[in-house]
Amino acid sequence: MEKQHGSPSVLVNNAGVYPEATDAKVVDTSTALWRETFETNLFGAMRMCRDVVPLMKKIRYGRIVNISSGLGQMHQMGEGSPAYRVSKAALNALTRTLAAEVAGTGILVNSMSPGWVKTDMGGEEAPRSVEEGADTAVVG
Ligand X SMILES: NC(=O)c1ccc[n+]([C@@H]2O[C@H](COP(=O)([O-])OP(=O)(O)OC[C@H]3O[C@@H](n4cnc5c(N)ncnc54)[C@H](OP(=O)(O)O)[C@@H]3O)[C@@H](O)[C@H]2O)c1
Residues found near ligand X in the complex (CB under 6 A)? 14-17, 40, 44, 67, 69, 113-114, 116-117, 119-122, 126
* 84 given a catalytic annotation: yes
For the CB of residue 17, give the shortest distance to ligand X in the complex, in Å.
5
Helix %, strand %, coil % of the chain (to 5): 50, 15, 35
For the CB of residue 120, give the shortest distance to ligand X in the complex, in Å.
3
Closest CB to ligand X: residue number: 16
Going by the DSSP 8-state scheme, the letter that residue 68 receives in this structure is: -
Q: How far apart are CA 69 and CA 91, in angstroms?
A: 10
Which is nearest to 113 in space by CA: 129, 94, 134?
Answer: 134
Identify the active-site residue in 56, 66, 84, 114: 84
Catalytic residue positions, numbered:
84
